[in-house]
A = this chain, B = another copy of it.
Amino acid sequence: MTRQKIKIKDIAKMAGVSAGTVDRILHNRGNVSPASREAVERVLTEVNYRYNLHTSALACRKRFKIIVSTPVASPGEYWSSIHSGIEHALEEYSDISVACEYAYYNQYDIYSCQSAFASIPDRHPDAVIIGPTFTRETRELCDRLDAAGIPYLFIDAVIGDTHPIATFTTDHYAAGFLLGRLLHAMSAGDGTFAILRARRTGNENASTSLERNRGFKDYMAQAGLTHRIREASFSVLNPEENEKQVVEFIESHPDTHGIAVMNSRGYIIADILRNRGVRDIRVISFDLTTNNIRCMKEGSITALLCQRPELQGFNAVKTMIQHLIYNRQEPAIHHTMPIDIVMKENLPYYKEVAAL
């Protein structure tokens, strides 16, 4: 069981070649004879060589610049958690010379995205981490990065027809389905379920909530409850208007048992209900944002579904660093993050950044 740590020199010796040759083969650098390649590759199948990221980084004496381009992060909100995961990873890998620069855009303003993306290739990053919103703009950026040979990966959402080295997302459909299941499981009797949709000016990246909606409705259909779904929308930007609409909805649907809010704006609904003294409607929404946490502590939000944004950010940086140092083409891995069900009782233990 004492599996010795295999080093490049060991492999070289076993294969009857030199360390340099092994290095060239490991990194696909070419300039190797078929005979050497074969010898080394046979040894590699026999031993369990784990290459050493840190010394490797030490020796290659490069400094890497990663540009992170995501929607602007408001403190306490979703993207801010992703960024804290990114910062956490930079700490964890602080022995490797990586610096992150940010290129934020306004996720409701396509022009801001265009201008943020336009500058990225000119800044000559070694890699780019993209939190995409607009399909066309993202695709254009990716085309330019592909052309320049700059690796990139997606975080939170994926845009098709691109070539990321990895992706980190949640299965939003499954999350919506789960929301349906939870809301149903927690609601007795014949009440109805409302989907309250946040209206927002501009081209909001709706695909996330659309997927969640689809999942939710599929659950309800499967449970034979489609006829018990009501739908309405409320405005994020106009609180007064908003409150009126929500109250109106509730009053005209007194049999509402549960409300699903398919983005992180659950607190808006929860606050309105609380202010009106309505306490028998369950509200389930998404993401551990400051406001949602407050509402959960107050009891006005029953549950939140969360997608480990810190871990996404952390792993994005980790993966990119490994790619940059190992510098070898590998098939992209698509990571699907866990969906955590958070309630008042297990909330306290989700605060810390999930380690590692």
Contacts and interface: CB of A to CB of B under 8 A. Distances in A.
Interface string A79-113: 00000000000011011010100000000000000
A223 B315 CA distance: 41
A55 B95 contact: yes
B50 A94 contact: yes
Contacts of A177: 345
A149 interface: no
A349 B186 CA distance: 23
A159 interface: no
B318 A356 contact: yes
Given A5-B97, A186-B185, A174 B345 contact: yes
Given A55-B58, A315-B356, A349 B345 contact: no
Which of A52, A182, A348: most chain B Cβ within 10 A?
A182
Contacts of A189: 188
Interface in A248-295: none
A68 to B, nearest CB: 13
Contacts of A77: none
* Number of chain copies forming the complex: 2
Interface in A309-356: 311, 314-315, 318, 336-346, 348-350, 354-356
Nearest to A2: B99
Given A5-B94, A95-B54, A337 B349 contact: yes
Contacts of A236: none
Contact of A318 (B55, B171, B344, B355): B355
A185 B303 CA distance: 11
Nearest to A99: B2
A163 interface: no
A157 interface: no
A221 B356 CA distance: 38
B55 A314 contact: no
A98 to B, nearest CB: 10
A336 B348 CA distance: 9
Contact of A343 (B52, B53, B178, B318): B178
A343 B54 contact: no
Given A2-B99, A174-B348, 15 more contacts: A52-B94, A55-B58, A92-B356, A171-B349, A174-B349, A178-B343, A181-B345, A188-B188, A314-B355, A314-B356, A315-B356, A339-B345, A341-B343, A354-B354, A354-B356
Q: Lowest 3 A-B CB distances belong to which pairs?
A: A356-B356, A188-B188, A178-B345
